[in-house]
Amino acid sequence: MVRQCYVDMLLDLHEQDEAMCIDDVEVGTSSYLVYFKALQKYCSSVLNVTSEYMTAESRNLYEVTVHLPKEEDGDKKNENVPIVLIEAGQTGGVEPVILTLSFIQRLVACEENENMIQNVRWVFLPCTNPDGLEYVRFDRPDWGKNTRKIEGSRGYGVAISNNFDSHWNECEKVKSMLDKNYPGPSPASEIETKFIRNVLLKYKDDIKAYLSVRRQGQHGILYPHAFSDKTDDVDPRQVKIAEMVSLKVNQRGGNLQAFVNDSIYRINNKPVCGSSVDYAHALGIQLPYEVRVGFNKDLEILKTFQTVSENHNAVLRAAYFSGIRELYAIITNP
């Protein structure tokens, strides 16, 4: 069953030859802006879009909230409602953004997910590095930074994923500003970092889970730490829940790709400082994770040794959403 507001939106937009599904769109900053405007116009009862930050190239950084208060909640409709914060695209690329947009679409459009948006407030930061997204789309697929000009140098770009104030200066110093892992002149030097950090701080008392969706390396859900193999303050519950979510994704996605669960450090096999997941962990957020995806690159690898169906990406997105459902069930039934 599709929510009536979404049906109305699709009928009106389809008359103007717009695509019927976010999966059918080439996602860039202009396309998701149109999508948000349409959702805000037709489905404002369950969705709200705000933007208070802008990148160096004057692109907006959006915060999207999906929540349907229960009628009996009255004036307490936002009190004591657990929050799941899903943030995507720190390292550039289309895959994390379109995956996050598909999550928004499923939550807003499908009435079968009504309990999910009644019992949890979903906060999405659907593209936290739009400058990097556009640069990757049209130029360098291996680019993982923003595109801000570094003052006093010929370098461009800071790795947002290494720019948070969490053990920022404890890794070996990256001397070259041209390095793809350049962490910036100081922690939280970038507007994108400030945006993510301030949303974490704004909701930290109510956030039950934080997922940072990125397009790098092995598919999987990874728990702290990134800066070291330190284990004495890792919550065993974080490890257990990562196992449960990965199991659900693998069950739904079949055997084409293993969706792993492990610590960020062990997957990287080296320390990475300035991680937003470590920053969230230090804030006391119970379930902070890095989620890695990479449909197109992995699809090409798979095709070299087995037949892959045309709807492979759709199957993967459905599998990821089954992992989100599992996380929701854990949060609401501890």
pLDDT above 70 as % of the chain: 87
pLDDT above 90 as % of the chain: 63
Q: Residue 199: pLDDT band by 50, 70, 90 thresholds?
A: very high
* Residue 304 pLDDT exceeds 80: no
pLDDT score for 143 = 86
Strand partners, 49: 64
Mean pLDDT computed over 315-331: 93
Tokens of 40: 């805000």
The CATH number of the domain covering residues in 4-332: 3.40.630.10
The helix or strand, by DSSP H or E, that contains position 292, with its residue range, turns out to be strand 287-292
The side-by-side arrangement of strands in the sheet containing 121-125 is 47-54, 60-66, 121-125, 83-88, 207-214, 287-292, 220-223, 260-263
pLDDT score for 195 = 98
- pLDDT tens-digit readout, 174-193: 888 888 899 999 999 999 99
Q: Phi and psi (nearest 5°) for 107?
A: -70, -40
Within 8 A by CB and 6+ apart from 143, the residues are 92, 132, 135, 136, 157, 180
Tokens of 283: 């804030």
Q: How many CB atoms lie within 10 A of CB 276?
A: 26
Of 69-78, 185-194, 269-278, 317-326, the range with the lowest mean pLDDT is 69-78
- pLDDT tens-digit readout, 86-106: 999 999 888 899 899 999 999
List the domain boundaries for the chain.
Answer: 4-332
Residue with tokens 């915060």: 63
pLDDT score for 50 = 96
Tokens of 21: 């599904």
Tokens of 68: 């349907």
CA 102 – CA 213 distance, rounded (Å): 13
Question: How far apart, in Å, are the Cα atoms of 69 and each of 59, 103, 305?
Answer: 31, 19, 48
Q: Which span out of 116-125, 132-141, 232-241 was modeled with the highest average pLDDT?
A: 116-125
Beta carbons of 102 and 59 less than 8 angstroms apart: no
Write down the pTM of the prediction.
0.92
Mean pLDDT computed over 142-147: 90
CA 92 – CA 146 distance, rounded (Å): 8
- pLDDT tens-digit readout, 251-300: 987 655 688 999 999 999 999 999 999 999 999 999 999 999 865 555 55
